[in-house]
């Protein structure tokens, strides 16, 4: 492992890095937004035990996107549809859509949820002055 591996929250000039383990122990929310100083949108991780079913809920304004990191999570939506997502699974949910999540695996489920409103700002990435744009955009082999 590299000498600069991060196990705690480290804030620099215009950035912060950290580890999920640095945000707490046990089950429940890990406040990524607060701990990393995110101001443009809400983002949290949740850790829930096997069989745990979260209460049904919806939001007044914020759309949410979920990413399953570990375990298997069942998503049930207000229209009665149900989907099961494993590691790498993703779901986007409109603010007003009722949803319920349940850990249907035999291990702890860990997922990240990001929420926001008022739209995407577009692709606004720029190269620092004096740095050339590479011929290929993305990692080797990217389309």
**pLDDT tens, position by position, 13-44:** 999 999 999 999 999 999 999 999 999 999 99
- Would residue 140 count as lying in a domain? no
- Give the number of domains in the chain: 1
Residues sharing a CB contact under 8 Å with residue 63, sequence separation 6 or more, in sequence order:
92, 93, 94, 95, 115, 116, 117
- Would residue 5 count as lying in a domain? no
Res 94: pLDDT: 96
User: CA dihedral defined by 117, 125, 38, 142, rounded to 10 degrees?
Assistant: 90
Mean pLDDT computed over every residue of the chain: 91
- Would residue 139 count as lying in a domain? no
- Would residue 124 count as lying in a domain? no
What predicted TM-score, i.e. pTM, was given to this entire model? 0.87
Total residue length of the chain? 143
- Would residue 100 count as lying in a domain? yes
Q: CATH number of the domain at 32, please.
A: 2.60.120.10
- Would residue 136 count as lying in a domain? no
Res 122: pLDDT: 80
- Would residue 42 count as lying in a domain? yes
- Would residue 27 count as lying in a domain? yes
For 59-96, write each residue's pLDDT tens digit.
999 999 999 999 999 999 999 999 999 999 999 999 99
DSSP state for residue 141 in the 8-state scheme: T
Res 140: pLDDT: 72
Range of the domain at 87: 15-116
């Amino acid at each position: 492992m590299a000498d600069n591996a991060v196990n705690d929250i480290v804030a620099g000039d215009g950035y912060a890095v950290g580890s999920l383990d640095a945000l707490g122990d046990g089950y429940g929310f890990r406040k990524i937004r607060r701990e990393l100083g995110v101001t443009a949108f809400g983002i949290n991780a949740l850790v829930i035990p096997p069989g745990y079913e979260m209460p049904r809920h919806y939001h007044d304004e914020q759309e949410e996107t979920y990413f399953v990191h570990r375990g298997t999570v069942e998503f049930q939506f207000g229209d009665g549809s149900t989907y099961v997502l494993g590691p790498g699974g993703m779901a986007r949910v409109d603010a007003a859509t009722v949803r319920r999540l349940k850990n249907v695996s035999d291990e702890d489920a860990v997922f990240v949820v990001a929420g926001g409103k008022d739209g995407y700002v577009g692709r606004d990435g720029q190269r620092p002055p004096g740095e050339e744009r590479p011929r290929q955009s993305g990692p080797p082999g990217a389309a």
